[in-house]
Structure 1
Amino acid sequence: MPVPQLPPFPADVHTHPLLVIDYDLLEAGNQQEIDRLWDAATNLGFCLKNHGVQAEVDGMFEMGEATMKLPIDEKMKFEQGDEGSSFGYKAAGANAVDANGMLDTVEFINIAKDDAFAWPSIAHRTYPSTVTSRMESTVIPFVKKSTEINTTILNIFNTKLGLPEGELIKRHNDAEFSGSEARTIKNPKGMSQERTALGAHTDFGSLSFLHNRLGGLQVLPPGIDEWQYVKPLPSHAICNVGDALAVLSGGILHSNIHRVVPPPGAQANYERWSQVFFTRPGNSVILDPLSSLSPVIANAVQRNKEKHSNAGGATAQEWFTRRIKNQRIKNRTGPETWHASRGTEQGRA
């Protein structure tokens, strides 16, 4: 389907620029580009160009629009539930965005990587017909290409962290079930700028591969206490390091704090769509720094003992389930529920 004509991001809004990394150069082993990637990943994330997934992204947006147009009763048949699973449909208002219990405004459909790779068998759950009818043409190609890109990036990080070859990939093995998933997100138009769509958070997993058509994503750069917009660039993906890599690397890789608010300026009059692929470790992977495998990581842990970079030996599944479950408004008992949903941003914001 054709990309809709949308108003440009307003020129008078302050933004925080991210480094633009050329994926073609990363694949070619260009050392200068690899060094730029490393600089970005140890600071605030980056934009990726020439990733080759744009056609699949457009197809995922089309799938998402068809899914969100289904009657609510039909969508709720595939609701993710309140027990800490992320796969399936999430209605707007199902999650809290802050300690006061303000409700989120986004609805989305999450499709497990395991279900895409197992298709037509079922690994975790079933999905609406709008998803299954596009599984082979759209969903599986998007998941496979996104996984390949994130694998390339993980291998670069593996070398930079001084780990034995393949250690990070072992912890993201396709043979083991994980929380990895594709997510298509809709935020309604015309929302108040004070109404946060998604609250301040760090991502749960290892790498996030995000595609936006409108503004609304904001970051909180290290050492700065003012939220700043990230301007979406056509055909570029925004890539973030998540909690799991921050922990495994002993805090060398930086899991940045971000949130989603309504788009600025004239863009606020349009629905905001986002497409993400989250790469997360295998469910059994222990989230502790890989100090015994890398002197680089061991030195980082020794230098920054006070830095929050340790998940206390939780498995990736335990970490993921705790954070998802405690965001759900039906599980809320008070501000302590929100705090129990926090990740490596705890103590930094």
Structure 2
Amino acid sequence: MSPTAVYETTPSVVVTDTLKHGLKERVEIPPWKEPPVTKENLSWAELETIDLTLLDSNNPEIRKTLIAAAKKALTVDGFLFVTGTGISDETMKRNLAIAQYAINGIPHEEKLPFAAKLDQGSYEGYKLRGIWKRDSDTPDNIEHYNLESSSFENIEDGHQHPEKLLPLIPEIKAFAEHTYKYVVYRILKLVSLALELPEDYLWGLHDHNGTIGAACQRLMGYFPRSEKDENATEGIWSKGHTDYNTVSLLYSQPISALQILTPDNQWRWVKHVEGAVVVNTADALEFLTGGVFKATRHRVIRPPPDQANIIRYILIHFARAARNLELNPIWESPLIKARGKNSFQDRIDAGGRAPTQDEWLRERIKRTGHELYDNNRKTAEGKVEEQVLGRKVEYYV
């Protein structure tokens, strides 16, 4: 079940070799200039940092400590940092430069033919800036380009991507494939062990066809806004929500904007950790664990003043279970068997079944940008609830 190719060499060689042989020459694009970290004294979340290379240890005490740390992080916060990703600093900066180019280096009219079919529940392609309007009709400041396994097929026909982006697809593919088959694989291995399951159990529930299975690799940019727009939206760039997949990976970069809702119902900032990946649990993993590991509530807000006028380029990877997998609890886990509940029990009792990963994903994507963010209906905790496929979904306003 494991991605054998990853273990035939070191992770850095996997990425580097693909880059060398995937292109006849390195395509020159403007470099990504690393901004300085904020000097503001912010209310930082205290998150676990786990070194993925320790999974290779033959020392049972090291592995035991590692699994205990993962179980604690996933139960309490649903957020953690992982290091030991096998991604060099040079490769990281190069891929942020590619994200910068995909978002800000290609003319808008050349992006239009590749706009994502959001109304059909698909993110593949461009989610263009300004198409969502909230809070006094203020357009959003978010743009992202999304690639799935199908994005890396038949690229020679020139119809999959903007022409200016085509020479960079082999590099994007190498980075996405390494993220999925090395980083995601190890994270899922760690989560499986934390659930007292065989180490490849969760990896076995994911798709291994194509470059990244059913996953999505995202190149993204958040753009600074006028004071008028910031005031209209209270400085919130992406309101509090959960993701729709199993685990989400954000390669850490210096601009602070991500916040998580901690167990004490406080929004706290996620600090930049050089060379780390920020990992959060998402809806599908919450359903599969019967709520033992809850999807993390998070949001993106305007960066602190010393970073507020810089475009925030980021790299995100959304790991997804196999599209046809029904999102029922994994009762084989002793932990889930003891503490878990089926999130769709009411729907099942009414003669239905739990939705599949694909059904849940498509329904949530269709609603994205149109969520029920209604200040008049929010609870004392600052959230609004909506029914999605028989399941209560919370949005934070």
Q: Where do 1:175-186 residues align within 5 Å?
A: 175=209, 179-186=214-221
Residue equivalent to 2:358:
317
SS of the aligned residue for 1:133 comes to helix
Residue equivalent to 2:193:
159
Paired with 2:305 and 2:94, the residues of 1 have a C-alpha distance of 27
Paired with 2:318 and 2:177, the residues of 1 have a C-alpha distance of 12
Residue equivalent to 1:294:
333
The answer to whether residue 310 in structure 2 is matched with residue 274 in structure 1 is no
Residue equivalent to 2:299:
259
Query: What is the CA distance between 1:344 and its match in structure 2?
Result: 7.7
Q: 1:346 to 1:104 in 2, by over 3 A?
A: same
2:283 aligned to which of 233, 236, 243: 243
Q: Where do 1:3-14 residues align within 5 Å?
A: 3-14=32-43
Residue equivalent to 1:108:
144
1:22 aligned to which of 51, 58, 62: 51
Query: What is the CA distance between 1:151 and its match in structure 2?
Result: 0.9
When structure 1 is superposed on structure 2, of 174-183 and 236-245 the one drifting more is 174-183
Q: Please list the CA deviations of residues 258-298 of structure 1 after superposition, one character each: whole Å capped at 9, or x if unmatched.
A: 0111211210021111111111011101011112x233212
Q: 1:294 to 1:276 in 2, by over 3 A?
A: same
| AA in 2 matched with 1:244 | A
> Are the aligned partners of 1:202 and 1:242 in contact in 2 as well (CA < 8 Å)?
yes
| AA in 1 matched with 2:174 | P
Paired with 1:87 and 1:37, the residues of 2 have a C-alpha distance of 31
Query: What is the CA distance between 1:184 and its match in structure 2?
Result: 1.2
Q: 1:343 to 1:93 in 2, by over 3 A?
A: farther
Residue equivalent to 2:9:
none
Q: Where do 1:74-153 residues align within 5 Å?
A: 74-81=110-117, 82-95=119-132, 103-116=139-152, 118=153, 120=155, 126-136=160-170, 138-147=171-180, 148-153=182-187
Q: 1:132 to 1:97 in 2, by over 3 A?
A: farther
When structure 1 is superposed on structure 2, of 22-31 and 273-282 the one drifting more is 22-31
Q: 1:131 to 1:165 in 2, by over 3 A?
A: same
Q: 1:344 to 1:114 in 2, by over 3 A?
A: farther
Q: 1:56 to 1:130 in 2, by over 3 A?
A: farther
> Are the aligned partners of 2:192 and 2:198 in contact in 1 as well (CA < 8 Å)?
yes
Residue equivalent to 2:107:
71
SS of the aligned residue for 1:173 comes to coil
Paired with 1:267 and 1:343, the residues of 2 have a C-alpha distance of 41
> Are the aligned partners of 1:325 and 1:341 in contact in 2 as well (CA < 8 Å)?
no
Query: What is the CA distance between 1:222 and its match in structure 2?
Result: 1.9
> Are the aligned partners of 2:261 and 2:298 in contact in 1 as well (CA < 8 Å)?
yes
SS of the aligned residue for 2:183 comes to helix
Paired with 1:134 and 1:36, the residues of 2 have a C-alpha distance of 38
SS of the aligned residue for 1:76 comes to helix
The answer to whether residue 236 in structure 2 is matched with residue 220 in structure 1 is no
Q: Please list the CA deviations of residues 180-222 of structure 1 after superposition, one character each: whole Å capped at 9, or x if unmatched.
A: 1111111113553723222211111111110233000011112
Paired with 1:104 and 1:242, the residues of 2 have a C-alpha distance of 23
Normalising to structure 2: TM-score of the pair? Answer: 0.75
> Are the aligned partners of 1:217 and 1:261 in contact in 2 as well (CA < 8 Å)?
yes
Residue equivalent to 2:393:
346
Paired with 1:140 and 1:255, the residues of 2 have a C-alpha distance of 28
> Are the aligned partners of 1:215 and 1:230 in contact in 2 as well (CA < 8 Å)?
yes
> Are the aligned partners of 1:162 and 1:294 in contact in 2 as well (CA < 8 Å)?
yes
Paired with 2:47 and 2:168, the residues of 1 have a C-alpha distance of 33
Query: What is the CA distance between 1:130 and its match in structure 2?
Result: 3.9
Query: What is the CA distance between 1:178 and its match in structure 2?
Result: 5.5
Paired with 2:134 and 2:286, the residues of 1 have a C-alpha distance of 23
Q: 1:273 to 1:195 in 2, by over 3 A?
A: same
RMSD between superposed Cα atoms in Å: 3.4
Paired with 1:267 and 1:296, the residues of 2 have a C-alpha distance of 43
| AA in 2 matched with 1:246 | E
Normalising to structure 1: TM-score of the pair? Answer: 0.85
Q: Please list the CA deviations of residues 14-55 of structure 1 after superposition, one character each: whole Å capped at 9, or x if unmatched.
A: 111211111221343631223212221222211112312244
Q: Please list the CA deviations of residues 229-257 of structure 1 after superposition, one character each: whole Å capped at 9, or x if unmatched.
A: 11112222111111111110111222110
Q: Any stretches of 5+ residues in structure 1 without a counterpart?
A: none
> Are the aligned partners of 2:290 and 2:340 in contact in 1 as well (CA < 8 Å)?
yes
Q: Any stretches of 5+ residues in structure 2 without a counterpart?
A: 1-29, 378-383
Paired with 1:266 and 1:121, the residues of 2 have a C-alpha distance of 44
When structure 1 is superposed on structure 2, of 230-239 and 272-281 the one drifting more is 230-239
SS of the aligned residue for 2:338 comes to helix
1:200 aligned to which of 240, 248, 251: 240
> How much identity, in percent, do the aligned residues show?
24
